[in-house]
A and B are shown apart, each in its own frame.
Chain A
Amino acid sequence: MFEAIAFYLFAFLTIAMFFITVTTSQALYALTALAAGMIFISAFFFILGADFLGVVQIIVYTGAVMALYAFGMMFFDTTRDVKEKQGNKFIIVGLSTLAAILVVVVVAVPMVSQNIVALYPAIDGVGNTQGVGMVLFTKYLIPFEVAAIMLLVAMVAGIVLAGKKMDLSITLMNDAEIKEKNKKVLS
C-alpha cells in the first residue's frame, strides 16, 4: 500500500522534474530540476532496498556531479535563453519512444523467457551495504580497480583541460593586460 503510494508519487515527481530539465529554456532551471530529479531517483533505490546505491546516488550525483556542473556554468554565459533545434516534434518524440521501448525489450526478453537465475544471490542475514561490499570485493574486484583508474585518468584530464592559463591571475592584472590576454585567447 505505502510502497505503491511512494512509487507513484516519486514516479510523478521524477518525470515532472526531468521533463522540466529537457524543456526549459533557462540553464539554471534545468540544473535545479535535474538535481531534484536525482534526489527523487534515489527514493526508488531506497524503496527497492538498495540503500547503499541510494546514498551513493545522493552523494555522487547531487553532491559531486551537480556541483561540478554548477562550477562549470560559471565559465559559460548562461543568462541568455537557449535556442532549440527547429525539427519535426512528432519525429523526435516518436523516435525517442521507439528507441526507449527497444532498450527495455532488449533487457526484458531474457526475463520473460524465464531462464534467468541469480548469479550472485543476495546473502541472507546481512544488510544491503554489507552484501554489496562482499560481492564488490570478491567477484567484481578487477572492474572496481579499473573504475578507480578510470576516475583517476578522468581527474587528470579534467585538470589538464580546464586548468590551462590558470597561472595568470586576473585579479592582479590591470585592464589593459586583461584585454591583451583576451585577444590572444580568443583569436
Chain B
Amino acid sequence: MMEIGLNHYLVLSTILFAIGLVGVMRRKNLLLLFFATEILLNAVNVAFAAISHYYGDLTGQMFAFFVIAIAASEVAVGLGLLIVWYKRHNSIDLDALTSMKG
C-alpha cells in the first residue's frame, strides 16, 4: 500500500488512457477531440517515465521526449487545418466532415 511500484503507475496510465479514449469516442467538436488525444499521449508518457525509472534505463525518457515533440507538431498542423476548415464551413463539428458520403 505505502510502497509505490511500477504497477501503480501502469494502473494510473491505464485509467488516464481510458479517459482519453472515452473523450475521443464521445466528442463531436474537433477542438475537444484534439484535447482528448493530448490526454492519450500524456497517459503513455507517464508509463514511459515510470518504466524508465524502475528499470534504470533512460530509453523510456527518450521516447517520452519524442512523443512530446510529435504532440507539439501535431497541434501546429492540426490547428492550421482546423482554422482553414472553420473559415470555409463556419463550424468544427465532426458531422460537417461527411462530405465524402455517397
- Give chain B residues whose Cβ lies under 8 Å from the Cβ of A170: none
- Give chain B residues whose Cβ lies under 8 Å from the Cβ of A95: 21, 25
Once bound together, how far apart are the Cα atoms of A56 and B71, in whole Å?
A: 13
The chain B residue with its CB closest to the CB of A40 is B42
Within 8 A of B (CB), among A1-31: 1, 3-4, 7, 11, 14-15, 18-19, 21-22, 27, 30-31
Pick the contact of B57: A52, A57, A119 (CB < 8 A): A119
| A154 close to B3 (CB less than 8 A) | no
| A60 close to B25 (CB less than 8 A) | no
Could you tell me the distance in whole angstroms from the C-beta of A65 to the nearest C-beta in chain B? 5
Taking residues whose C-beta sits less than 8 angstroms from the other chain, chain B's interface range is: 35 or more
Could you tell me the distance in whole angstroms from the C-beta of A9 to the nearest C-beta in chain B? 12
Pick the contact of A100: B18, B49, B71 (CB < 8 A): B18
Once bound together, how far apart are the Cα atoms of A56 and B56, in whole Å?
A: 20
- Give chain B residues whose Cβ lies under 8 Å from the Cβ of A14: 12, 16
Pick the contact of A61: B13, B23, B68 (CB < 8 A): B68
Report the tally of A-B residue pairs with Cβ distances under 8 A. 233
Q: Is the interface of B mostly helix, strand, loop or mixed?
A: helix
Pick the contact of A27: B4, B20, B29 (CB < 8 A): B29
Could you tell me the distance in whole angstroms from the C-beta of A170 to the nearest C-beta in chain B? 13
| A150 close to B69 (CB less than 8 A) | yes
| B9 close to A44 (CB less than 8 A) | yes
| B32 close to A27 (CB less than 8 A) | yes
| A154 close to B72 (CB less than 8 A) | yes
| B76 close to A68 (CB less than 8 A) | yes
Once bound together, how far apart are the Cα atoms of A56 and B62, in whole Å?
A: 12
Once bound together, how far apart are the Cα atoms of A184 and B51, in whole Å?
A: 54
Once bound together, how far apart are the Cα atoms of A114 and B27, in whole Å?
A: 40
Once bound together, how far apart are the Cα atoms of A185 and B44, in whole Å?
A: 40
| B16 close to A15 (CB less than 8 A) | yes
| B22 close to A65 (CB less than 8 A) | no
| A164 close to B76 (CB less than 8 A) | no
Pick the contact of B81: A50, A56, A140, A161 (CB < 8 A): A161
Closest 6 CB pairs of A and B: A161-B80, A154-B73, A22-B23, A96-B21, A158-B76, A118-B57
In the assembled complex, 19 residue pairs joining A and B whose CB atoms fall closer than 8 Å, in A order, are A22-B36, A22-B39, A30-B35, A38-B38, A60-B71, A65-B71, A68-B75, A75-B86, A76-B31, A76-B92, A84-B26, A99-B21, A100-B17, A118-B55, A132-B61, A140-B62, A151-B73, A158-B76, A185-B87
- 10 extra A-B contacts, CB within 8 A, seeds A21-B36, A96-B22, A99-B18: A22-B20, A22-B36, A41-B42, A50-B49, A60-B71, A69-B34, A76-B31, A135-B58, A151-B73, A161-B77
